[in-house]
Amino acid sequence: MTKEINSAPRGEQWNKEELLKKDQEKLWHHISPHNPNPVIAVSGEGSWVTDIDGNRFLDGMSGLWCVNVGHGREEIAEAAAEQMKTLAYFPLNQSHVPAIRLADKVSEWLQGDYRIFFSNSGSDANEVAFKIARQYHNQNGEPTRHKFISRHRAYHGNSMGALAATGQANRKIKYEPLGTGFQHVPPPYCYRCPFGKTYGECNIDCAQIYEDVINWEGAETVAGVILEPVITGGGVIVPPPEYLSKVREICNKYGVLLIVDEVICGFGRSGKNFGHQNYGVKPDIVAMAKGITSAYSPLSATAVRAELYESFKEPGKDNHFRHVNTFGGNPVSCAVALKNLEIIEEEKLVERAEYLGIQLRNKLDALLDHPNVGDIRTFGFMAGIEMVEDKITKQPAAPQKVAQVLTECKKRGLMMGKNSETVPQYENVLTLSPPFVTTDKELDFIVNALKEALSTLLVQSSTL
pLDDT tens digit sequence for 417-442: 999 999 899 999 999 999 999 999 99
- Counting the structural domains of the chain, the total is 2
Note whether 206 and 187 are within 8 A (CB): yes
226 and 144 in one domain? Answer: yes
314 and 198 in one domain? Answer: yes
Q: Which of 346, 369, 395 is the last residue of a domain?
A: 346
Cα distance between residue 432 and residue 425, in whole Å: 21
pLDDT of residue 207: 98
Residue (of 332, 324, 257) closest to 118 by Cα position = 324
393 and 338 in one domain? Answer: no
State which residues form the domain around 411: 16-69+349-463
**pLDDT surpassing 80 at residue 459:** no
What average pLDDT does range 207-234 have in this prediction? 98
Is 10 part of a structural domain of the chain? no
Share of the chain above pLDDT 90, in %: 92
Share of the chain above pLDDT 70, in %: 96
Contacts of 416 (CB under 8 A, 6+ apart): 60, 61, 406, 409, 430, 431, 432, 446, 450
**pLDDT surpassing 90 at residue 8:** no
Q: Which of 346, 369, 387 is the last residue of a domain?
A: 346
CATH number of the domain residue 383 falls in? 3.90.1150.10
pLDDT of residue 462: 60
278 and 382 in one domain? Answer: no
pLDDT single digits (tens) 187-215: 999 999 999 999 999 999 999 999 999 99
Is 4 part of a structural domain of the chain? no
Is 11 part of a structural domain of the chain? no
Is 5 part of a structural domain of the chain? no
pTM of the model: 0.95
Which residues share a beta bridge with 257?
224
Is 396 part of a structural domain of the chain? yes
92 and 50 in one domain? Answer: no
354 and 337 in one domain? Answer: no
3-state secondary structure of 223: strand
**pLDDT surpassing 90 at residue 12:** no
127 and 25 in one domain? Answer: no
**pLDDT surpassing 90 at residue 370:** yes
Is 300 part of a structural domain of the chain? yes
* CA angle at 71 for the pair 336 and 402, rounded to the nearest 5°: 125
Contacts of 464 (CB under 8 A, 6+ apart): none
268 and 177 in one domain? Answer: yes
pLDDT of residue 316: 86
pLDDT single digits (tens) 46-82: 999 999 999 999 999 999 999 999 999 999 999 999 9
CA distances from 213 to 11, 14, 236 (A): 61, 57, 24
**pLDDT surpassing 80 at residue 221:** yes
- Output the average pLDDT for the chain: 95
What average pLDDT does range 223-248 have in this prediction? 98
Cα distance between residue 410 and residue 392, in whole Å: 30
CATH number of the domain residue 138 falls in? 3.40.640.10
Cα distance between residue 233 and residue 443, in whole Å: 21
101 and 64 in one domain? Answer: no
Is 391 part of a structural domain of the chain? yes
284 and 244 in one domain? Answer: yes
78 and 48 in one domain? Answer: no
Cα distance between residue 29 and residue 180, in whole Å: 29
pLDDT of residue 70: 98
pLDDT of residue 4: 39
pLDDT of residue 2: 37
Contacts of 126 (CB under 8 A, 6+ apart): 156, 157, 161, 162, 165, 226, 259, 261, 263, 287, 302
Is 3 part of a structural domain of the chain? no
303 and 193 in one domain? Answer: yes
pLDDT of residue 299: 98
Q: Which of 319, 346, 373 is the last residue of a domain?
A: 346
